[in-house]
């Protein structure tokens, strides 16, 4: 049939209105190739989990650990398999993949005294087993941990058993000796804070709370592993706790959302290591904390789930909605929704740039065993219908003769190809280009 659009034309047409394309004389299978959802339900874990950790292994599997048990996710088959039992039953711990491929799990809330455990253990992916390693000097729950460039692990802040305030201190784990050593004190005690390893090897720590019910912090600290010292990194634009912090491909850091005094934040801001300053960026559609942030291969950041409420720490709203942050524009756009509302969940970038979201709580109480997988849609293309192929019968004035051309019906727009194209949205043709396809008689 003369004038039917090719695949490139179909993509341009569908994306021109963001709707569903229905083409007569085009197979349903061809149209379906461009209509897949961003989110799909993944395989179910063996047990329900919240406040767990998820660590991507060197071979692409994902280790999920909490409550004394662990299991492995296999991205190729979307299946889960039970792994070994942990030595200590714990939640709200930290986990880091070491340079040799093993996984360090440290601290957390234990089910036996001391409740904020100082213990640590190692998972060996080759053997599928857990083994003990050295313990911290201080028991910590909700601490943050980050792998340093030299292979050591920095553990920062958190809550200590029997204390109503957070911890100032930090400790460093050395995989070569299996021991922890002191790493100085931050400028303020912090819990529900965020950490990130910068391209220059230093560690940025932002926000958090110094004590339960207190105003979240706006201050930030820098740790220099070479000297083992802490210094101020200035102040964020807003006080934040239970926010996220992600290192972008260009070396900047984006800080998103969180809890502040009296409510929750939709705002985001950048930290530039070159200038050492924070600058405001765009806002999310939703005010949220307890969400996850995942840097995609293209540099965008996927924000998923979370919660908000009234007052400082009150939770009444729980989200399945996701948003995508574009660092180049500093803006957030809709990224669909997960199958359930989640907070206390994890998100991991797995094979082909997909994001695996695991477990969490769907309300104030209870845990979830389901998973969701996000796949970023193909990049947008400008609306530019293809020219008539050679061999078309054309009438005078360049119009297609009866029986030629094609008709496409889009959701919310009707585009008629009969020698003239009426674009349903903004014009994207360069100026000076003919608005009608050129056809020779």
Closest CA to 248 of 204, 285, 306, 207: 204
The domain defined by 39-374 carries CATH number 2.120.10.80? yes
- Whether 437 has a pLDDT exceeding 60, the answer reads no
Domains in the chain: boundaries: 1-36+383-441, 39-374
Q: Is the dihedral of CA 45, 51, 52, 53 positive or negative?
A: positive
With left for phi above 0 and alpha for psi between -120 and 50, is residue 328 left, alpha or beta? alpha
Q: Apex CA 71: angle with CA 69 and CA 77, to 5°?
A: 165
Confidence of residue 163 (pLDDT cuts 50, 70, 90): low
| Chain segment 290-348, per-residue pLDDT in tens | 999 999 999 999 999 999 998 766 788 999 999 999 999 999 999 999 999 999 999 99
| Chain segment 24-63, per-residue pLDDT in tens | 332 333 222 333 469 999 999 999 999 999 999 999 999 9
């Amino acid at each position: 049939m003369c004038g039917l659009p090719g695949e490139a034309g179909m993509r341009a047409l569908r994306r021109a209105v963001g709707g569903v394309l229905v083409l007569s004389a085009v197979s349903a299978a061809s149209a379906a190739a461009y209509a897949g959802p961003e989110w799909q339900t993944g395989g179910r874990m063996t047990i329900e989990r919240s406040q767990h950790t998820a660590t991507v292994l060197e071979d692409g599997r994902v280790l999920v650990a909490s409550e004394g048990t662990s299991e492995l996710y296999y991205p190729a088959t979307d299946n889960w398999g039970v792994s070994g039992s942990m030595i200590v039953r714990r939640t709200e711990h930290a986990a880091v993949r070491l340079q040799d491929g093993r996984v360090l799990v440290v601290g957390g809330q234990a089910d036996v005294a001391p409740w904020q455990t100082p213990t640590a253990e190692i998972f060996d992916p080759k053997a599928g087993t857990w083994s003990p390693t050295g313990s911290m000097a201080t028991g910590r729950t909700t601490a943050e941990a980050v792998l340093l460039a030299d292979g050591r692990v920095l553990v920062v802040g958190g809550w200590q058993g029997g204390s109503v305030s957070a911890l100032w201190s930090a400790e460093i784990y050395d995989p070569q000796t299996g021991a922890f050593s002191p790493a100085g004190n931050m400028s303020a005690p912090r819990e529900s804070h965020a950490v990130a390893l910068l391209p220059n090897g230093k560690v940025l720590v932002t926000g958090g709370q110094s004590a339960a019910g207190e105003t979240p912090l706006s201050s930030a600290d820098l740790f220099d592993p070479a000297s083992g010292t802490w210094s101020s990194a200035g102040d964020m634009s807003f006080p934040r706790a239970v926010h996220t912090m992600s290192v972008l491909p260009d070396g900047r850091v984006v800080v998103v959302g969180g809890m502040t005094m009296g409510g929750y934040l939709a705002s985001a801001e950048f930290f530039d290591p070159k200038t050492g300053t924070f600058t405001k960026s765009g806002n999310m559609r939703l005010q949220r904390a307890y969400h996850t942030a995942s840097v995609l291969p293209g540099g965008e950041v996927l924000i998923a789930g979370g919660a908000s409420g009234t007052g400082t720490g009150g939770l009444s709203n729980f989200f399945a909605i996701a948003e995508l942050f574009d660092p180049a524009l500093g803006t957030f756009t809709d990224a669909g929704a997960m199958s359930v509302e989640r907070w206390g969940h994890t998100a991991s970038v797995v094979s082909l740039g997909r994001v695996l979201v695991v477990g969490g709580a769907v309300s104030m109480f209870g845990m979830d065993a389901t998973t969701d997988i996000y796949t970023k849609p193909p990049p947008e293309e400008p609306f530019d219908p293809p020219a008539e192929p050679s061999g078309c019968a054309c009438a005078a004035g360049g119009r297609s003769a009866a029986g030629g051309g094609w008709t496409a019906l889009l959701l919310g727009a009707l585009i008629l190809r009969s020698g003239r194209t009426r674009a349903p949205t903004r014009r994207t043709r360069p100026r000076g280009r003919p608005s009608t396809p050129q056809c020779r008689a």
